[in-house]
Amino acid sequence: MSRHTPPQRASYMCHVFSGDDLRVTSGANLGDVLEAVDELCEGDTYELAEEAQVAKLAIASESGVHLVGDGSEVGRAGDAVRLAGRLTVMGGDGGGIELLVIELPGTAGLTRHVLPLQPIEPRVGYALIGVSEDPGEVHLSDLTSFAFARGTAITLSSGAQRPVEDLRVGDRVLTRDHGAQPVRWTGQQTVRAVGAYAPVVITKDTLGNASDLILSQHQRLFVYQRGADRVTETAEMLVKASLLVDDDSVYIRKGGFVDYFTLVFDQHEVIYAECIPVESLELSPNTRQSLPGEMAEGLMAEFGDVAHAPAFGTEVGPDRLDPEYRRKLFKGGGGR
């Protein structure tokens, strides 16, 4: 008999790593992946696999009960989400990092996932210094950035360029679809530039950009595809910056800290950063819940629960942008 699950509209989302991507490299459980919380040993050192990828966990929450929501990249819609515990690890810089352990039903038993509350990255040893089966008062959101790095030049309605950090509410910016539009809200966050939080650098002229364009990995660019070999249903394609990485013309810059800035308009807009089209922040339950608390509160105060209609265009999946097509998009690129 087929399993029927009623629609589970996601309330918010977070980005998680598979527990199989965390392996003990030193200690009592040498070689093991992340096990049940009550089987872990303080003092073990874990490393994140080099090939580890974050996956979207969509959450449908009602009356304190968490279920996997529609559109989730892990789990099955309608399955229960169990917060199994909270781990504290110490990284190479001596700073403490907290990880939430999440368990989901799977066809072969429970699957474990980890939600880092601060960035983690591969090839760094994380010593387990604290284990608690009580996850505490937590909200399953994270700090995924949708933003421009400090110094990014944004095109104004006059055609002039202005660094994103100098834009103020009311400044009129050139948009692709609606002409000159006033900035309604700006936000800023500073994070360690590691793992999923390290910025993508698109070198000068790679996509026709006037200077190096530095974006968060989840920031989407607008690409108009010509010809019959397009990879999406529409000629208008939205592509995450991380999918353009070829480690030459486009690369991820790790280390230190990065200041990200976010722009919000009355609508979800395509604007121009370093002279190429990119998206503004799209207001939706998902994006609100993936921003830090103060930013989410600021958006709620300004816009309430308004949700934007997405800018026209089809988002490309990671399996659709092969290296050959990526090379066609690039315009020679400057490399590094």
The confidence score (pLDDT) of residue 332 equals 47
Q: Which tops the pLDDT comparison, 329 or 182?
A: 182
SS3 state of residue 272: strand
For 123-154, write each residue's pLDDT tens digit: 899 999 999 998 876 656 555 556 899 999 99
* β 314-315/236-240 pair status: parallel
The model's confidence at residue 109, banded by pLDDT at 50, 70 and 90, is confident
Average pLDDT over residues 26-50: 95
The confidence score (pLDDT) of residue 326 equals 80
And the tokens for 15?
């980005």
- pLDDT higher than threshold 90 for residue 159: yes
The model's confidence at residue 218, banded by pLDDT at 50, 70 and 90, is confident
Average pLDDT over residues 238-250: 91
For Cα atoms 92, 94, 95, give the angle at the middle one, nearest 5 degrees.
110
What are 86's strand-pairing partners?
100, 132
Distance CA 231, CA 227 (A): 10
- pLDDT higher than threshold 70 for residue 291: no
pTM above 0.75, yes or no: no
The confidence score (pLDDT) of residue 75 equals 92
Average pLDDT over residues 234-243: 87
The confidence score (pLDDT) of residue 289 equals 60
The confidence score (pLDDT) of residue 257 equals 84
- pLDDT higher than threshold 60 for residue 336: no
Q: Is 99 left (phi over 0), alpha (psi -120 to 50) or beta?
A: beta
Q: Which amino acid is at 260?
A: Y
Backbone φ and ψ for 196, nearest 5 degrees, come out as -70, -5
For 167-176, write each residue's pLDDT tens digit: 999 999 999 9
Average pLDDT over residues 316-331: 76
Q: Which residue has the tokens 């590691």?
A: 194
Q: Which residue has the tokens 């096990």?
A: 35
The confidence score (pLDDT) of residue 333 equals 45
- pLDDT higher than threshold 50 for residue 274: yes
The confidence score (pLDDT) of residue 335 equals 46
- pLDDT higher than threshold 50 for residue 185: yes
Q: Is 129 left (phi over 0), alpha (psi -120 to 50) or beta?
A: alpha
- pLDDT higher than threshold 90 for residue 55: no
Q: Which tops the pLDDT comparison, 1 or 266?
A: 266
DSSP 133: S
Q: With pLDDT > 70 as the criterion, what percentage of the chain qualifies?
A: 87
SS3 state of residue 144: coil
The model's confidence at residue 190, banded by pLDDT at 50, 70 and 90, is confident
Q: Which of 64-78, 251-265, 288-302 has the lowest mean pLDDT?
A: 288-302
DSSP 33: B
SS3 state of residue 108: coil
Average pLDDT over residues 170-184: 96
The model's confidence at residue 334, banded by pLDDT at 50, 70 and 90, is very low
Cβ proximity of 244 and 269 under 8 Å = no
Q: Which amino acid is at 124?
A: V
All residues at 6 or more sequence positions from 63 whose CB lies less than 8 Å from its CB, including other chains:
none
